[in-house]
Amino acid sequence: MRKSILSALVALTLSTAMHAQTITGTQENTSKKFLERFHFKGDLRLRYESKETYYKDGTDTTDKYTYHNRYRLRLVAAVDVTQNLKFDLGMRSGYANPTSGNQTFLDDRPLSDYFWQSLRFNILDIAYKNGDSTLKAGRHPYMIYRPIKSQLIWDNDLSFNGVSYNYENNSRIINAGANQPTYAEQVTAKNTVNLFFAQYVEKVTLTNSQLNIGTGIYYYNGIKGNTPLYSTNKGTGMGNTLVDGVFKNDYHILEAFGEFKLKEIYTKPLAFSAGVAYNSAASDKNFGYDIALKIGKAKKVHNWQLKYSYTYLEADAVLGAHSDSDNFGGGSAAKGHAIRGKYKFGNRTYLAATLFYDTLFANKTDGKPEADYERVQLDAIIKF
């Protein structure tokens, strides 16, 4: 009798323990699956920068020399609401500058004033992905393909406000959207601006290489007769033509480009690209192009990459407020060379350097003669 009771107690104990373990394991798995829905990343870049402008009228007193210590901080979070639906949230330094997260350290302010005060939301969107298609609504990084990350038309840091669609597989890329650039902070434009775009890229896979051929149209509505878009433009057209303080032209930009990528040559990947931009809404000064060569890729520790590009951009070829904010001092109406190098010396750490050597056209120099523009950037970057 006692053996029967003891056996029953042992069985009950083991059963209870196994049941408790199952519940605990289920709770742990549920908790783990819940936490896996959250994704975080960010980066911090410290930069030393020099900018020197030499006007070609020969008068030294008009030349400009500026030197800065700067940082850029970016924080991004994403939540997988469902398997296909994701909520994105991102913040960036720079007081909501649409094309730059740089924040300059000033001598008369303590360090404690910087790292949180200038943070603004640059990503706040819902993304729905189904197969090869992605739809985003809200404030999100632009969904446009750029050959070798060309900034002929679009600056790296630009975010869109509206709806964008992307389709991509091994054969092609299709991008389209409707956005409102004036639905953002730091806007000074007196009228609303809308942007409609469509882009198509054909991918051709070859032996040990790939050829990408693309075209696009970027149709701004509301630029002509409007004032400069953002306070960071400081009342200028960023190279674009202004008449009595308002834009002379609209911007209906046509794009075409080709990109050729070799997987390996002498143990390094190699890429070439050439692209053009043409503003059909302007009668002159409406053409731009860039060519670029890139070797290497800073993907693994001790890997390096080097990129050279030449850019020629007439005053009204693109909207200066949205093109590269570093080259030419930002905007259009210039031509010149850019050399960019990057080296990965740790799992999450990089060193980078960039040299710009440009000629600024008269539209860029407030009526002064053309000028030589030299800019050097030295960066230390950590990703987390």
Name the residue among 147, 140, 148 with its Cα closest to residue 165: 140
pLDDT value of residue 15: 45
Look at residue 17 and tell me whether its pLDDT is greater than 50. Answer: no
DSSP string, 189-252: -SS--EEEEEEEEEEEEETTEEEEEEEEEEEEES-TTPPPSBGGGTTS-TTS-EETTEES---E
Range of the domain at 30: 1-36
pLDDT at 29 over 50: yes
Q: Are residues 224 and 189 in the same domain?
A: yes
**Residue 211 pLDDT:** 98
Position 289 confidence tier, pLDDT thresholds 50, 70, 90:
very high
Q: Domain tally for the chain?
A: 2
**Tokens matching residue 350:** 């990089």
Task: State the Cα–Cα distance between residues 4 and 52, nearest whole angstrom.
Answer: 94
Residues 142 and 13 in one domain: no
Question: Which residues are bridge partners to 374 per DSSP?
Answer: 52, 357
Domain shared by 46 and 1, yes or no: no
CB 184 within 8 Å of CB 174: no
Structure tokens at 247: 């834009």
219 and 360 in one domain?
yes
112 CB burial (10 A radius; 0-12, 13-18, 19+): exposed
136 shares a domain with 3? no
Q: For the whole model, what pTM was predicted?
A: 0.88
Longest CA span, the chain: 113
Question: What is the model's pLDDT at position 114?
Answer: 72
- Co-location of 23 and 81 in the same domain: no
Q: What is the pLDDT of residues 343-366, one digit of tens each?
A: 999 999 999 999 999 999 987 876
Distance CA 189, CA 230 (A): 7
State whether 128 and 159 are in the same domain. Answer: yes
